[in-house]
Amino acid sequence: MAAPEAGGPPGPQGTITVARALQLPALRRGLPEVVAAEDRLNRPVRWVHAGEAPNIASLLSGGELLLTTGIGLGPRPAEQRAFVRTLAAREIAALVVELGSRFTTLPAAVVDTARSVGLPLVQLRREVPFVAVTEEIHTELVNEHYALLRRAEQVHRQCTQALLRGGGVPEILRLLAAFAGNPVFLETSDGQLLYAAGPGPAGQPGTADPLQVWDGLRERRAAPRPELPAGSVVVDVPGGGPGVVRARLTVPPVAGVLAPVHRIAAERTADLLAVVLLQARQEEELAARGRGDFLTDLAEERIEAADAPAQARVLGFRPPAGGPLLPVVMRVATRTAAGVPAGPGESWAALAHAVQEELAAVGAPVLLGVRLPEGRVPLLVGLRDAAERTAVADRVAAALRAGVQRAWPDRAGSRPPTVVVGVAGGWETAGSELRHAAEAANAARGPADRPWHDVRRTEVDVLLWRLREHGDLAAFVDRVIGPLLAHDRTARPPLIPTLEAYLAHAGRKAETARELHLNRQTLYDRLARIARLLGSDLEDPQTVLALGLALQARRHLQ
């Protein structure tokens, strides 16, 4: 048997331990002596309860320090063992028995059972008023919680001050980690890690690397998202609307138990992080709009070519000295561009952020902008020489499409964005090439899976696009291929695909038949039927030119 040592092992923040409770004056007056589970005096005491009923365990929910004179233990060893086991199953903090009125010494069945189940058992050799013990411990608990709440408020103020002086997410996470005494992680809603912070300085002895902790948790189930231990604090970081989750703040208890006050601190921190992330997105959107305005002004010749390089440097664009500039424009079909309020998921801030991140892997300096009214994303790419135009255009187009997919995943199945690549040149031609590429982005027609359009191959589309509002274009289409369109509306097989393939292969019938999976005679019959319906000679160059233009114009009118 031993008396409790002063202080005892540390317990979770916001609680007092059994050892600490035994050192308080009210219990010390009872000359407490620990007779079982001395190594478990670091158990947190959630509450104090005094009772003598044999079924007292049914009134407890765990974490209580139970005070009793032993009346409820029962006279027989079997009853006493069952009493102790039931309390242990309820996971109470400790059982404190006052000797004298019921027992002068604790029964062996009680002591042995407490030792076997690991329940701290304390005997008091002097009578104490239980109400005084209850009041003192409860006061201590309230004081502990109040002190921690003040610390949580202090952490919140520190985070706010860090935010006001320009601090970002890492600094705020470090402050929360230091308060919680555990690593803190900020992850996306689908489990991808964004930031990690440890409770102490990196490299400090005894402080685990938070990234290693994250990897260890993730490896527990070999999945992208880690399996968190029991007692972890997970708080959603709200997004831009009701029910929208931008990220998740996770605090696993890998270095110490977490108390309710840590959840409070995490929830307050999550609100601050929402502001930080929103501010970052808004700043990125504003910057992207500013760059878009610059590129538009350049395209509309409101900026002199001689002044453009200096303004571009202010915006962070530094192309290779002497290298050409490659104008690129992406057009995204959105509700905003159509004059309708943006639909769910159409966040231009998210688009600008995602596209900028994807373009970082292109390997060339890029000046990216957005133009919300037109639904356009213009950019200039700095090339080392004109020979790398095609290779860089491939990478830029892939990055742009990946950025749209990341930012607006709900657009799956819709038409991919249209990317037009202009002619590389110097600052003196960059504006006009951007303007031409922007117009071509509106006019470009062709296969949806084409990664990008070369502006030099869109001249006819641009011309037809300019004429689309004129009734003459529709009349031209009807005049040239109207009978064929009328046939395809009522008869099978349709003949327009045959004519399109025939013109695409410049009248080479063998190649046309192979593409359409037809034998020669069937193709000849279809071509003859087309010629009869149109009253035209398909071998005549002028007729072929008119038919090609009419088919191309038809796509603009659809």
Q: In angstroms, what CA-CA distances link 403 with 26, 48, 59, 328?
A: 66, 58, 58, 15
Rounded Cα distance, 513 and 510, in Å: 5
pLDDT exceeds cutoff 90 at 409:
no
- Whole-number pLDDT of residue 338: 42
pLDDT of residue 109: 92
Own/partner contacts of 530-534, CB < 8 Å, gap of 24 or more, are: 530/484, 530/495, 530/498, 530/499, 533/483, 533/484, 533/487, 533/495, 534/480, 534/481, 534/483, 534/484
The DSSP string of 211-266 is: HHHHHHHHHTTTSSS--PPTT-EEEEEE-SSTT-EEEEEEE--SSSPPPHHHHHHH
Give yes or no for residue 460 having a pLDDT over 90: no
Rounded to an integer, the average pLDDT of 466-475 is 74
Find the mean pLDDT for residues 407-414.
Answer: 70
Indicate the SS3 state at residue 544: helix
Averaged pLDDT for residues 152-168? 78
Q: Facing residues of 16 across strands?
A: 45
Query: What is the band of 87 on the pLDDT scale with cuts at 50, 70, 90?
Result: very high
pLDDT at 346: 60
Task: Give CA–CA dist 177/183, Å, rounded.
Answer: 5
The sign of the torsion formed by the CA atoms of 102, 106, 107, 109 equals positive
Q: List, for residues 302-352, the tens digit of each pLDDT value.
A: 888 898 998 888 788 999 998 999 999 998 875 544 443 344 446 677 788
The pLDDT value recorded for residue 340 is 37
Q: Provide the pLDDT for residue 205.
A: 56
Structural domains of the chain, ranges and CATH numbers in brackets: 16-141 (3.40.1390.20), 167-258 (no CATH), 284-465 (3.30.70), 471-557 (1.10.10.2840)
CB burial of residue 302 (10 Å; 0-12, 13-18, 19+): exposed
Judged by average pLDDT, the poorest of 34-38, 66-70, 332-336, 482-486 is 332-336
Place of tokens 């039927």: 529
Q: pLDDT higher for 193 or 514?
A: 514
400 vs 205 pLDDT, higher one? 400
| Residue of 423, 323, 437, 471 lying closest to 369 (CA atoms) | 437
The yes-or-no verdict on residue 278 having pLDDT over 80 is no
Residue 371 phi/psi, 5-degree rounding, is: -125, 95
3-class DSSP state of 22: helix
**Closest among 90, 32, 89 to 64, alpha carbons compared:** 90
For helices 108-117 and 77-89, what crossing angle results, to 10°?
A: 30
Take residue 410 and report the two structure tokens written for it: 């709900």
pLDDT of residue 141: 82
Helices (H) and strands (E) in the chain, counts: 18, 16
Per cent of the chain over pLDDT 90 is 26
Q: How confident is residue 9, by pLDDT bands cut at 50, 70 and 90?
A: very low
Question: DSSP label at 93?
Answer: S
Residue 529 pLDDT class (50, 70, 90 cuts):
very high
Give the count of alpha carbons within 13 A of 269, CB side only. 36
The pLDDT score that the predictor gives to residue 422 is 93
Please give the pLDDT value at position 316. 82
How far lies 247's CA from each of 243, 353, 398, in Å? Answer: 12, 15, 26
Joined together, the tokens standing for residue 327 give 């104008």
Percent of the chain surpassing pLDDT 70? 86
To 5 degrees, how large is the angle CA 58–CA 63–CA 69? 65
pLDDT in tens, 239-273: 766 666 778 889 998 888 887 788 888 888 888 88
Q: Is the previous residue joined to 493 through a cis bond, with omega within 30 degrees of 0?
A: yes
Q: How confident is the model at residue 448 (pLDDT cuts 50, 70, 90)?
A: low
Mean pLDDT of the chain: 83
Which amino acid, residue 385? D
**What is the average per-residue pLDDT within 167-187?**
85
pLDDT of residue 342: 43
According to the model, what pLDDT value does residue 113 have? Answer: 93
Residue 101's pLDDT band, with cuts at 50, 70 and 90, is confident
Q: Which region among 46-50, 148-152, 234-238, 265-269 has the lowest average model confidence (pLDDT)?
A: 148-152
Q: List, in sequence order, every beta strand (DSSP E) within 316-444.
A: 325-331, 366-368, 376-382, 418-421
Question: Which of the given ranges, 183-187, 192-196, 369-373, 414-418, has the highest pLDDT on average?
Answer: 183-187
Pairing outcome for strands 233-238 and 121-124: unpaired
Q: Is the pLDDT of residue 163 over 90?
A: no
Q: What is the pLDDT of residue 446?
A: 62
Q: Is the pLDDT of residue 32 over 90?
A: yes
Give the pLDDT score at 95.
Answer: 94
> Do 329 and 434 contact (CB within 8 A), yes or no?
yes
Q: Is the pTM here over 0.85, yes or no?
A: no
Query: What DSSP assignment string belongs to 69-87?
Result: -SGGG-SSHHHHHHHHHHH
Average pLDDT over residues 124-128: 90
pLDDT, average across residues 57-85: 90
**Strand pairing report for 325-331 and 121-124:** unpaired
Place 364 in a pLDDT band, splitting at 50, 70 and 90. very high
Span 191-247, pLDDT tens digits: 777 778 888 765 555 566 787 887 777 665 445 556 778 888 899 888 766 666 778
- The per-residue pLDDT for 193 is 76
Residues in contact with 22: Cβ distance below 8 Å, sequence separation at least 6, in sequence order = 4, 8, 28, 32, 34, 41, 122
